Amino acid sequence: MEPISADFEQELALLREKLEEAEDVRRAITRGEVDAFVVGPGGSGRVLLLANAYQRYRQLVERMSQGAVTATANGHILFANQRFSEMLGVPLAQLYTAPLESYVTVSDRARLSAFLMVSARDSQIEVELNRRDGSSIPVRLSLASFADGYASLLVTDQRPLQWPSVAVDALDSIRSSLGKLNQSLAGDAAGRDALSAIGEEINGLARMIDEMVDVEGSAERKGSL
Amino acid sequence: MTPSNGTTSEKWNLRLYTAGQSPKSLAALDNLKRVCEEHLPGRYSIEVIDLLKNPRLAKDDQIVAIPTLVRKLPEPLRRIVGDLSDTERTLVGLQLRQIK
């Protein structure tokens, strides 16, 4: 039997090492310990994420208060979140593959096309969206990313924030109750002082909420307590 | 196999290839820090390479699956693929423990 050459032993060791590495990758995949792969020539290409790798971010996007849209190179909607669907008053299922420009007022469509072609990250444009009920809402489109021909846009409602009607109703109700209480305490100076203090506290709270939502009118316009 | 942790004060340079903040990447970093703090306190450094930001860096260490840990120092170079949740395997892979 011929002795094994040093070259052969070296090659055998190298092959063993490569086999161990391949086995390590296989084992990690089958145990679910990886969630992305590098593909492309010489491992220098792109990173592909497994579907569940960004599940929690996707859930976040689905629930956030801003609209989110990803459009293909030809301007068709590839993905949209629930908020964007609500802005338009159109079911999500109808949005997929629809041309994004069809939901923008005619006068803004050329600007939108130009905006998508520029594809500079963080660039913004303000357009009017057509709602299904015939109304329109001003929005700001911000280009969050542009990769592989897909533009990901954040859609921010530009309408001034308003007090929710339920809050206005609650304020009216409190005002009414305090008014009645004030009348019933006609002869009670201390009670009326306490009531006045409560009224001031609530007015202060209303003003604070006004500032938070940047409402054009003030709490006083809704009526003081 | 000879364990490399020994009693020496040699510096360990580890490089963890991640895909942004993917769950397995975060788990691997967490598991790696825990192992290092337990077995290599004060004598290790971890370099995190985010391949989502720069996928071309995968070529340097021939990375195909993410996360992957590469032991740069002490030599020889070692690779461990996965989230390092199997501590025993991680220790063996890093040659911090002999194969039983």
Quote ipTM for the complex: 0.84
Classify residue B100: in a domain, yes or no.
Answer: no
Tell me the one-letter amino acid at A5.
S
Residues A101, A109 contacting (CB under 8 angstroms):
yes
- Model confidence pLDDT, tens digit, residues B18-29: 998 888 998 999
Classify residue B54: in a domain, yes or no.
Answer: yes
| B36: nearest Cα among B23, B25, B21, B47 | B47
DSSP string, A115-159: HHHH--TT-EEEEEEEPTTS-EEEEEEEEEEEETTEEEEEEEE-S
Residue A221 predicted with pLDDT over 50: no
Q: What is the pLDDT of residue B100?
A: 52
Classify residue B3: in a domain, yes or no.
Answer: no
Residue A102 predicted with pLDDT over 90: yes
Q: Find residues 22-61 of chain A whose CB sits inside 8 Å of chain B.
A: 24-25, 27-29, 31, 33-38, 40, 42-47, 49, 52-54, 56
Considering only residues B100 and A133, tell me which one the structure prediction assigns the higher pLDDT: A133
* Pairwise CB contact (< 8 Å): B66 & A25: no
Q: What is the pLDDT of residue B1?
A: 42
CB of A63 less than 8 A from some CB of B: no
What is the rounded CA–CA span in Å between residue B50 and residue A38? 12
Q: How far is CA A19 from the centre of its chain?
A: 45
Q: Which fold has domain A55-157?
A: Beta-Lactamase (3.30.450)
Residue with tokens 């740069």: B72
Structure tokens at A222: 């809704």
CB of B79 less than 8 A from some CB of A: yes
Pairing of strands A46-49, A36-39: antiparallel
Q: What is the pLDDT of residue A129?
A: 95
- Domain range for B84 is 12-93
Backbone φ, ψ for residue B41 (5° rounding): -60, 130
What band does B98 get if pLDDT is binned at 50, 70 and 90?
low
Tell me the nearest-neighbour CA distance from A68 into chain B, angstroms: 20
Structure tokens at A161: 């924030």
CB of A170 less than 8 A from some CB of B: no
Residue A215 predicted with pLDDT over 70: no
Average pLDDT of chain B? 86
Classify residue B2: in a domain, yes or no.
Answer: no
Q: What is the pLDDT of residue A213?
A: 66
Q: What is the pLDDT of residue B8?
A: 61
**Least-confidence region, from A14-28, A70-84, A114-128, B58-72:** A114-128
Q: What is the pLDDT of residue A214?
A: 58
Residues B49, B16 contacting (CB under 8 angstroms):
yes
Domain count, chain B: 1
The residues near A113 (Cβ < 8 Å, ≥ 6 apart) are: A75, A101
User: Where are the domains positioned within chain A?
Assistant: 1-30, 55-157, 165-222
CA distances from A224 to A36, A167, A208 (A): 59, 15, 14
Q: What is the pLDDT of residue A54?
A: 74
Q: What is the pLDDT of residue B17?
A: 95
* Pairwise CB contact (< 8 Å): A24 & B80: yes
Pairing of strands A136-147, A46-49: unpaired
Classify residue B6: in a domain, yes or no.
Answer: no
Q: What percent of chain A has pLDDT above 70?
A: 88
- Model confidence pLDDT, tens digit, residues A146-167: 776 788 899 999 887 767 777 7
Q: What is the pLDDT of residue A216?
A: 47
- Model confidence pLDDT, tens digit, residues A8-61: 888 998 899 889 889 999 999 999 999 999 988 765 578 888 877 777 777 888
Which residue among A21, A40, A53 sits closest to B22, beta carbon to beta carbon? A53
CATH of the domain at B70: 3.40.30.10
**Least-confidence region, from A111-120, A129-138, A178-187:** A111-120
Q: Before B74, cis peptide (omega within 30)?
A: yes
* Pairwise CB contact (< 8 Å): A36 & B58: no
